[in-house]
Structure 1
């Protein structure tokens, strides 16, 4: 746990779990209704009959409160996946992501523009929401390297997490192209696995280079 997260957790210790959940639900409700700009400390306080000072004392800033609410609401997707093979792990990651994307996509879209415009929100979301998922995907690849399934020097390794998470982000934008329920499984089989299995020639160059 980071220093910031530990400090926030210590502050939140004064709230009951029920009260904390109520505050988070108010934030999620405001996000759904009007996006990030619709969430204000005043609005959350009014909706929950909570003092605004309490919110600032517990979370310090609006980005921290929003990030905490999103983190509590979402279910980790890739953490804990370990089928014993790279193919199994990536296909399981695709299955889990597909089963949860509708639940999380709407909320992530609600903060996507704010993510670009507000550095504080971007930093908080990266630390709390994004980095754990990236780390879980990186562990899948590290185990595949240890098992000898892929080359440790394959440059495609660095692109797996960004590409996987990017697909989750753009699927709804390209719904005319990616409307099939098996989109993520196809992405794994047709794009990620071939790239990860690509072999280098004796001089270290990629085939065909």
Structure 2
């Protein structure tokens, strides 16, 4: 499951679920600020990020940054909220095993390559130092897990999962061992590890672990 935080000069595409975004210059300004925040977090980490850095790299005057975002915490929080305003949907491969493996491999794609992982890893580190960033990270992933509802619904319809299977719990279970390796034990992850995590969750789903008691 991706934490999509690559740098870009454009705002995310329109039409994402449950969001309304400003257009035109406002959206471009917000995207430029988001990019500068990402670059600063990667370069200096949360403790070294300053409003002055964001102003210099975004082209937005620091007075405007203070007025609109309030300071570094507000900038980081909004950058993460902005990342959640995309059109991501869970994989739809035609089978629950395929969906779970694809979901797990998204984590590998997002974090397995150090170059790709730099920005999302910096945001996760910021969440340990800023309560507002932690809240934003919680919102980001809670919303991501909520979007996984069709994954379980399709599996139930195909007879691959018991009725009432909790899609959020399934998505969390797929991601958990990968994030453990990434951020706790500092072990590498790859496609084989992703498939192993997905297949373990698949077995648990079939056993009814994520469904209400009969």
TM-score norm. by structure 1 comes to 0.70
2:96 alignment partner, one of 79, 86, 106: 86
- Correspondence list, 1:1-209, <5 A: 6=20, 9-10=21-22, 14-15=25-26, 17=28, 19-60=29-70, 62-70=72-80, 79-101=89-111, 102=113, 104-127=116-139, 129-153=140-164, 159-173=169-183, 174-176=185-187, 178-189=188-199, 191-199=200-208
Secondary structure of 2:40 counterpart = helix
Deviation string 1:58-115 (CA, Å, 9 cap, x unpaired) is 4455344224434666896961521222112112222333223235533233233431
CA distance in 2, matches of 1:38, 1:82: 41
Secondary structure of 1:112 counterpart = helix
Asked if the contact 2:108/2:189 (under 8 Å) is kept, the reply is: no
CA distance in 2, matches of 1:183, 1:76: 27
Please report how far the alpha carbon of residue 151 of structure 1 lies from its aligned counterpart in structure 2 after TM superposition.
Answer: 1.3
CA 1:107–1:74 in structure 2 vs 1: closer, same or farther (change >3 Å)?
farther
- Greater fraction helix: 1
CA 1:116–1:91 in structure 2 vs 1: closer, same or farther (change >3 Å)?
same
Asked if the contact 1:24/1:69 (under 8 Å) is kept, the reply is: yes
Asked if the contact 2:126/2:133 (under 8 Å) is kept, the reply is: yes
Secondary structure of 1:83 counterpart = coil
CA 1:158–1:69 in structure 2 vs 1: closer, same or farther (change >3 Å)?
closer
Deviation string 1:23-58 (CA, Å, 9 cap, x unpaired) is 322211110112122222232123444322212344
Deviation string 1:153-196 (CA, Å, 9 cap, x unpaired) is 557x55322233333423334354x454411111111x101100
- When the two chains are superposed, the root-mean-square deviation of aligned CA atoms in Å is 3.6
- Structure possessing the higher radius of gyration over alpha carbons: 1
CA 1:66–1:13 in structure 2 vs 1: closer, same or farther (change >3 Å)?
farther
Deviation string 1:121-152 (CA, Å, 9 cap, x unpaired) is 2222333x323321233331132123332113
Asked if the contact 1:28/1:70 (under 8 Å) is kept, the reply is: no
- Give the count of matched residue pairs: 193
